[in-house]
Structure 1
Amino acid sequence: MAGTLYLVATPIGNLEDITLRALRILREVSLIAAEDTRHSGRLLKHFGIETPMVSYHGHSGPGRIDEILAALETGDVAVISDAGMPGISDPGFELVRAAAERGIRVEPIPGPSAVIAAVAASGLVPGGFLFLGFPPRRPSERRKLFASLADLPFPLVLYEAPHRLRATLADLESVLGDRPVTLCRELTKVHEEIIRTTMAAAHAALEERPPRGEYVVVVGAPEPRTRTDPEQAADLLRDRLAAGESPSAAARAVARATGLPRSDLYRQALALREREVSDKPRSKD
């Protein structure tokens, strides 16, 4: 009979946050698959756990997954990441899918989560939210992602590294507008910091104190909008086109301001631009 694959949440900073159940499972399994064996080795040593470990991280190939699946044929295996729950922006997804396809039991051992901690402390999430993980590193791809989410009535939650934080906040503001934002840094650690501000004000704050440590960013949902009739929207489009904006940028801004479908506004902006060009007097040669 095959063993059980346990997904064990580990502390995101403060070691006291580990659960009694997690400690028991880590002691009882025959093997621990760890994202970084050196990092996890310190955690296991702190709690006197001597279970054998093997590395399993984002660059592990299919061979390592096969090795872990083979270990599950004769015993239980626990998967741990450097912090938080495996499979949530951390290694684990491919292994879980492979185990499930073989009919192996997969059991989550819940515990610390940077996402849940940040959402609870932000004051910006009264109900549901959309978790993005780490956004794309390329600015064009990042802005494309944010634009696809601009009209959703949910707060957005994402992870970001300190050296990309300012660029990501700039893209968020340019695409979504100046929404409220909560920046959660080094959660549960000695230098934990929770900053509740707006995206515009965040730039100034980060200029004075450059980002350090890992961040969870919670962006507030858009304000409810009053629908605007098509004629008013057309006037707004004309003003933006006259100011030199492209049809795409004008449609995006007017959609954000009015609640009208961006695709319809884009077609209207193209028509207005074509009409403007055709109405220009031609020079006589």
Structure 2
Amino acid sequence: MVTFLPAPIGNLQDITLRTLEILKHCDILLCEDTRMSKKLIALLMERALLSLKDYIYYPFHTHNQESFLAQNSLEFFYQNIGFLSDAGMPCVSDPGVELVRFLQANHIPFEVLGGISAVTLMVALSGIVEKEFSFLGFPPHKAKEKLEFFYAVFKNPYPIILYESPHRLLESLDLMVQVDKNRQVFLAKELTKKYQRTFKGSLESVFNALKDSNDKALLKGEWAMVVDKTEKTESYTLSEEALLSLEIPPKFKAKILAKMKGGSVSDYYQSLVNGQKN
């Protein structure tokens, strides 16, 4: 049987007793990254939380999952298999969903163990979420798509939980400030780890605090955030005037204008560039 195992997101002591028990009986480990899983297993053995054992490790991630499932017989999945993502719960902004669908479609038994997740930690830590919330994972990478994404999700009647990488955090916060600088936000980095840090306040104040910090290491590490819900009276329709005032490259403005008003992207781009020159 395949068992989906929660992995600690930072503190090794967050490993569950059930996960350790299943690992004792597993022969094969499917891993988002075999290097990360081998490191976790080695640490568990070093601290005598897990007995010495040789596992067979296979990579299973978004780039190889289709070929892996096609190449292995159904009998393969009836072995004692554990599935590990790099940290936290499999299938939550991590690989695993395709494997679950495959097992369901082929009536192969599997189990998912409960465990630590950055999502639930953020719900409790933020002081923003009371009941309902929307978890949206990572926002788009490109600035244009990200800006459109924020304008859409800021209309959500529930608080939203997002993940973000250290390399894109300031850009994302800057774009969110342009949508609603007064919206309350809670940010946390390196959850459960030694250097865990949290920030809470308006988007503008948190963005400025991070942007102006003299701590060069402050942005390092993985981030999660909770953005407070909208009030019913608020409206976030992107007007042409608001779009033109945004500090984003002309090529992005041109593409958005073409979607809003129709017409040629190149024509809007030339008009914007000529306007800047004048």
TM-score grouping bracket, smaller chain normalisation: 0.7 to 0.9
Bigger Rg, structure 1 or 2: 1
- CA apart distance, 1:5: 2.0
SS of the residue 2:168 aligns to: helix
SS of the residue 1:163 aligns to: coil
Alpha-carbon distance change, 69 to 8 in structure 1, aligned in 2, over 3 angstroms: farther
Alpha-carbon distance change, 86 to 69 in structure 1, aligned in 2, over 3 angstroms: farther
Amino acid at match of 2:12: L
Question: Are residues 1:31 and 2:28 paired?
Answer: yes
Equivalent residue in structure 1 for 2:6, among 5, 9, 12: 9
Q: Structure 2 CA distance, aligned partners of 1:127 and 1:15?
A: 29
TM-score normalized with structure 1 length: 0.75
Amino acid at match of 2:43: H
Q: Structure 2 CA distance, aligned partners of 1:246 and 1:136?
A: 22
Equivalent residue in structure 1 for 2:233, among 222, 225, 235: 225
- Structure 1 partner of 2:173: 169
- Structure 2 partner of 1:21: 18
- CA apart distance, 1:212: 1.3
Are the counterparts in 2 of residues 147 and 176 from structure 1 also a CA contact under 8 Å? no
Are the counterparts in 2 of residues 6 and 108 from structure 1 also a CA contact under 8 Å? yes
Amino acid at match of 1:185: K
- Structure 1 partner of 2:133: 129
SS of the residue 1:218 aligns to: strand
Amino acid at match of 1:89: S
Q: Structure 1 CA distance, aligned partners of 2:234 and 2:106?
A: 52
Alpha-carbon distance change, 249 to 68 in structure 1, aligned in 2, over 3 angstroms: same
Alpha-carbon distance change, 246 to 46 in structure 1, aligned in 2, over 3 angstroms: closer
Question: Are residues 1:66 and 2:70 paired?
Answer: yes
Alpha-carbon distance change, 69 to 83 in structure 1, aligned in 2, over 3 angstroms: farther
Alpha-carbon distance change, 65 to 204 in structure 1, aligned in 2, over 3 angstroms: same
Q: Structure 2 CA distance, aligned partners of 1:15 and 1:71?
A: 33
- CA apart distance, 1:29: 2.2
Equivalent residue in structure 2 for 1:84, among 79, 88, 105: 88
Alpha-carbon distance change, 85 to 56 in structure 1, aligned in 2, over 3 angstroms: same
Q: Structure 2 CA distance, aligned partners of 1:136 and 1:98?
A: 27
- CA apart distance, 1:112: 1.1
Q: Structure 1 CA distance, aligned partners of 2:210 and 2:234?
A: 34
- Structure 1 partner of 2:156: 152
Alpha-carbon distance change, 248 to 196 in structure 1, aligned in 2, over 3 angstroms: closer
SS of the residue 2:182 aligns to: coil
Alpha-carbon distance change, 76 to 224 in structure 1, aligned in 2, over 3 angstroms: same
Structure 2 unmatched ranges of 5 or more: 245-259, 262-278
Structure 1 unmatched ranges of 5 or more: 228-236, 251-265, 268-285
Q: Structure 2 CA distance, aligned partners of 1:86 and 1:226?
A: 36
Identity level (%): 34
Equivalent residue in structure 1 for 2:39, among 33, 38, 42: 42
SS of the residue 2:82 aligns to: strand
- Structure 1 partner of 2:254: none
Are the counterparts in 2 of residues 29 and 78 from structure 1 also a CA contact under 8 Å? yes
Amino acid at match of 2:166: P
Amino acid at match of 2:204: A
- CA apart distance, 1:58: 2.4
